[in-house]
Amino acid sequence: MAQSSALWGGRFREGMADIAHRFSSGIQWDSKLWREDIRASIAHARMLGAQDIISEQEAASIIEGLEAIAREIESGEFQFDDSMEDVHLAIEARLTEKIGPVGGKLHTGRSRNDQIVTDERLYLKSAIPGLSSKASELIEALLDKADEYIEAIMPGYTHLQRAQPVLLSHHLMAYVQMFARDCERLDDLTDRVNRSPLGSAALAGTSYPIDREMTSHDLGFERPTRNSIDAVSNRDYLVELASDCSIAMMHLSRLAEELILWSTREFGFVSMSDKVTTGSSIMPQKRNPDMAELIRGKVGSVYGSLFALLTMMKGLPLSYNRDMQEDKPAMFTVLETTLDSIEMMTLVIRETTFHPERMERAVRAGDLMATEIADYLARKGVPFREAHHIAGSIVAKAEELNLTLEQAPLSEYQAFSELFEADVFECLDPMRSIQAKQSAGSTNPEMVRQAIADWRASLG
């Protein structure tokens, strides 16, 4: 059975094949934009009446009908019919049922091409600040943990090898910086989204004397878009959204990976509460960091959406092409997955207990103070490259003797340089090493405290 061709006017003599209709329908996705579609339609109808393109009475009837449909959808009285191709046709068909042929006048001076981009931009204008708000909550959770463990010492890593001692709070503040940049990128995107495409029509604009400034202001946009072809064919705001969220998900995944590693018995740096872990079906001793693992895993769907959008757009001639219908699954996947992942990570952080004694034991068990030995010699005039070589030789000798750097006798140090004195062992205290850092942005406790205070002030 073929679908009716009534919606498409007199050009078509046969209806669309059922399989073609099912293949091309996007209403399961764009019906999520019904609020934005009705809001934009009300603004358009109000403008049509103000410009005498339709009568004020007709505009009022259309607006009243649209408001009634919104109430029907909210209450569940009106359900979107899969036989309709998209949200625009579904709402217009219901409007015509309610108020008669005048409902068809709503489409004067516009196209579904400018409708959908208007709906998407309206949706993003509220969704993007929601993402930033959730990211700010995650930042607050990290600040709380940094405050709680302000003087806890841990091994800092490079190449996943113990490198130098740092404060746990300093490590956590690194993620604060990452998520803050994610917020900055999203806020920057909001400025580019805040343009109204409504009135661009199919691609060339319209011969009706519409007032795009009026509808733009009515919908809360900063201003109308400046080129009708670009307005209906542009999806780079969605590519940018997916890119920004991919970066945020990458940051979430890195933090998740560290928490997963740290929760193993091999590390033992953290424990996660029952709220964010699961057990095993056959191994009763297990406490699995499933929520962190799922955050790490969900990165793939956001990355995939970014590449789906890039691939969809890469070969499209101007202006609108039906390929662009596939933007909405990607848009909603990106927004929902990123929002859920940020919210879940906030809970994971709040439900994580750190074990400073295990972290400090890891610091003292290794040779993390080797750089301090090199710096000790450098401060006595030895060129740093030579000091570095001497420090490495001492590390090798301590390993040969199965001793830590603190346990090795002064005589072993002096065998490599007569400049070593008893005060070298003072340099081997991890907290003293941390406190000695003077460069801006370092792990120095006072600098970390100030960084936390500055971030709390900026968040209000």
Task: Report pLDDT for 460.
Answer: 78
Which pair of structure tokens corresponds to residue 241?
A: 């959204």
C-alpha separations of 229 from 17, 114, 319 in Å: 31, 10, 6
Task: Report pLDDT for 435.
Answer: 93
Task: Report pLDDT for 372.
Answer: 87
What is the CATH code of the structural domain delimited by 20-108? Answer: 1.10.275.10
Please state the length of the chain. 460
pTM of the model: 0.91
Q: Is 266 exposed, middle or buried (0-12, 13-18, 19+ CB in 10 A)?
A: exposed
Task: Report pLDDT for 363.
Answer: 92
Annotated catalytic residue: which of 75, 159, 281, 411?
Answer: 159
**Residues 396, 418: Cα–Cα separation, whole Å:** 18
Numbered ranges of CATH 1.10.275.10 in the chain: 20-108
* pLDDT tens digit sequence for 174-202: 999 999 999 999 999 999 999 999 999 99
Numbered ranges of CATH 1.20.200.10 in the chain: 113-207+229-360
**Residues 390, 84: Cα–Cα separation, whole Å:** 77
**Residues 114, 147: Cα–Cα separation, whole Å:** 50
For the 113-207+229-360 domain, the top CATH level (class) is mainly alpha
Active site residue 207: no
Active site residue 159: yes
Numbered ranges of CATH 1.10.40.30 in the chain: 362-459
**Residues 216, 222: Cα–Cα separation, whole Å:** 7
**Residues 162, 404: Cα–Cα separation, whole Å:** 14
* CA triple 136-141-147, angle to 5 deg: 125
Instruction: Characterize the bridge pairing of strands 195-196 and 161-167.
Output: unpaired
Annotated catalytic residue: which of 4, 55, 273, 280?
Answer: 280
The domain defined by 362-459 carries CATH number 3.40.50.300: no
Q: Would you list the DSSP string of 384-417?
A: HHHHHHHHHHHHHHHHHTT--TTTS-HHHHHTT-
Nearest CA to 118 out of 201, 56, 31, 50 is that of: 201
Predicted confidence pLDDT, tens digits, the chain (460 residues): 334 444 555 666 777 787 887 887 888 899 999 999 999 999 999 999 999 999 999 999 999 999 999 999 999 999 998 778 899 999 999 999 999 999 999 999 999 999 999 999 999 999 999 999 999 999 999 999 999 999 999 999 999 999 899 999 999 999 999 999 999 999 999 999 999 999 999 999 999 999 999 999 999 999 999 999 999 999 999 999 999 999 999 999 999 999 999 999 999 999 999 999 987 666 756 789 999 999 999 999 999 999 999 999 999 999 999 999 999 999 999 999 999 999 999 999 999 999 999 999 999 887 888 888 999 999 999 999 999 999 999 999 988 999 888 889 999 999 999 999 999 998 888 999 899 899 999 999 999 999 999 999 999 7
Which pair of structure tokens corresponds to residue 128?
A: 């993007």
